[in-house]
C-alpha cells in the first residue's frame, strides 16, 4: 500500500476554512438555543415559586387586640410579628433553593441538548481537515493518517562521492546514498552534483531527480559532465530536503543480476543478465555497475537502460568504457532499481 504526499493544494485550504466556518455556525446555533430556553423559563419563573408571597398566618395561642393596650396584648402582637417573619424567611429560602434546582436542571438539559446537536452535525475528524486531531502527530499526518510527518523521517545519507575522467574535458560522477527509513521513502527528490578543482573552486554543476525506496542503499550516477579545460579534484552531492515523503509497508520488489563478467580486451566491457522475479512488467529500468579496486575505492562506473522487462523475463546487460583502466577490478557492484511508487494505484 502506498500513499504519495504532496504539498497541500488550494482547495484543501478552502475545505479547511469551510469546516471551521461550519463548526462556528453550529456553536453559535447552540448558544442561541440555550439563550431561547433560558428566556422561556425566565418568563415562566412564577411556575417555580419565584413570585409567591405567603399570606399572614396568625398564632391561635395568642389573641391580641388592637384596642388592648395591656402588656399581654403587646406581647401577643410581637410574637405574631416574629412568627410571620420566620415563616416568610423559611418560604423564601425554599423558593430560592427550588429555583436553583430547577434552573440548574434546565441548564443541564440545555447543555446536553447543545452538545448532542454539536456532535450530531459536527463533521467527523479526517486526515484532510487541516486540523491536528484524532491522535495525529502533526496536521493531517502521522497516527491514523497515512501521510508522513517530517518528524517521523531521517534524512537521506550521502556515504561517498567519486568523480572519474572519461575523455578530454568529460567526467563521470557517482555517489552512494542510503535511505535509513524502514517504511518511508520518497517517490522523487532533487539532487545536485558540483565539481571542484584542486583549489576548491567550483567548476560546474549537474542537477537531476530520482527516487528512494524505503530502507535502501543505491547509487546516483551522472555521465559525461563537461569541465572544460579545468580538472575536477572532487565532487559534492547535495540533496534537496524539501522533497515529499511517502509511507510504503509492503515488500520492496528487487530484480536479480546474474552472470556478471568483466573484460579489458580490447576495451573495458562488463556484462550480466537481468532477471525479473516479480509479477510486474517494468519499464525504463536503469542498471548500473561500479568498479572497485583492492582497497575498496571506486574508480569507474557505467549505466544502461532497459526499456521493458516482462514478469519472469530476462534481459542482457552491457556496460562499456572508452579506454582501458590498466587494471582489473577487484569487485563489480551491479545494481538495478525499480520504484515502488510505480506500483501505486
Q: What is the pLDDT along the chain (345 residues), one digit of tens a residue?
A: 444 444 333 344 444 455 556 566 666 666 666 676 666 656 655 444 444 444 454 555 545 554 555 555 555 566 666 666 766 666 667 677 777 777 777 777 877 776 666 666 667 788 878 888 888 778 888 878 878 888 889 999 999 999 999 999 999 999 999 999 999 999 999 999 999 999 999 999 999 999 999 999 999 999 999 999 999 999 999 999 888 898 887 878 889 999 999 998 888 999 999 999 888 899 999 999 999 999 999 999 999 999 999 988 999 999 999 988 988 999 999 999 999 888 755
CATH code assigned to 253-345: 2.60.40.3230
Determine contact, residues 324/267, Cβ cutoff 8 Å: yes
Domain with residues 153-251, CATH architecture: Sandwich (2.60)
The CA distance from 150 to 5, in Å, is 11
Instruction: Tell me whether strands 331-337 and 298-309 are parallel, antiparallel or unpaired.
Output: unpaired
The span from the CA of 133 to the CA of 323, in Å, is 62
Q: What share of the chain is helix, strand, coil (3-state, %, to 5)?
A: 30, 35, 35
Q: What spatial distance separates the first Cα and last Cα of the chain, rounded to whole Å?
A: 9
267, 293, 276, 286: which is closest to 337 by C-alpha? 286
Cell numbers describing residue 28: 453559535
CATH 2.60.40.3230 in the chain is located at 153-251, 253-345
Residue 136 backbone phi and psi in degrees, to 5:
-70, 150
- Alpha-carbon gap, residue 128 to 147, rounded angstroms: 10
Task: Give me the phi and psi of 98, to 5 degrees please.
Answer: -65, -40
Amino acid at each position: 500500500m502506498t500513499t504519495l504526499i504532496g504539498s497541500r493544494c488550494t482547495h484543501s485550504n478552502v475545505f479547511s476554512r469551510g469546516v471551521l466556518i461550519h463548526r462556528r455556525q453550529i456553536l453559535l446555533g447552540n448558544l442561541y438555543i440555550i439563550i431561547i430556553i433560558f428566556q422561556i423559563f425566565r418568563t415562566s419563573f412564577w411556575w417555580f415559586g419565584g413570585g409567591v408571597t405567603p399570606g399572614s398566618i396568625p398564632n391561635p395561642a395568642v389573641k391580641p387586640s388592637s384596642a388592648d393596650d395591656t402588656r399581654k396584648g403587646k406581647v401577643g402582637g410581637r410574637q405574631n410579628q416574629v412568627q410571620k417573619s420566620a415563616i416568610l424567611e423559611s418560604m423564601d429560602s425554599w423558593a430560592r433553593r427550588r429555583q436553583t434546582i430547577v434552573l440548574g436542571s434546565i441548564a443541564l438539559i440545555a447543555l446536553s441538548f447543545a452538545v448532542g446537536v454539536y456532535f450530531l452535525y459536527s463533521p467527523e475528524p479526517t486526515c484532510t481537515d487541516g486540523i491536528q486531531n484524532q491522535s495525529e502527530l502533526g496536521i493531517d499526518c502521522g497516527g491514523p493518517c497515512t501521510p508522513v510527518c517530517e518528524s517521523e523521517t531521517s534524512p537521506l545519507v550521502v556515504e561517498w562521492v567519486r568523480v572519474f575522467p572519461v575523455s578530454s574535458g568529460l567526467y563521470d560522477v557517482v555517489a552512494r546514498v542510503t535511505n535509513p527509513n524502514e517504511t518511508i521513502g520518497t517517490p522523487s527528490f532533487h539532487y545536485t552534483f558540483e565539481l571542484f578543482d584542486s583549489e576548491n573552486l567550483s567548476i560546474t554543476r549537474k542537477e537531476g531527480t530520482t527516487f528512494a525506496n524505503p530502507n535502501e542503499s543505491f547509487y546516483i550516477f551522472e555521465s559525461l559532465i563537461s569541465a572544460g579545460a579545468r580538472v575536477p579534484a572532487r565532487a559534492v552531492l547535495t540533496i534537496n530536503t524539501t522533497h515529499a515523503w511517502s509511507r510504503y509497508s509492503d515488500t520492496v520488489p528487487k530484480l536479480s543480476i546474474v552472470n556478471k563478467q568483466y573484460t579489458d580486451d580490447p576495451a573495458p566491457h562488463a556484462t550480466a543478465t537481468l532477471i525479473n522475479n516479480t509479477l510486474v512488467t517494468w519499464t525504463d529500468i536503469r542498471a548500473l555497475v561500479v568498479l572497485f579496486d583492492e582497497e575498496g575505492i571506486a574508480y569507474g562506473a557505467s549505466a544502461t537502460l532497459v526499456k521493458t522487462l516482462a514478469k519472469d523475463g530476462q534481459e542482457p546487460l552491457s556496460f562499456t568504457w572508452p579506454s582501458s583502466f590498466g587494471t582489473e577490478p577487484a569487485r563489480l557492484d551491479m545494481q538495478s532499481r525499480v520504484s515502488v511508487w510505480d506500483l501505486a494505484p
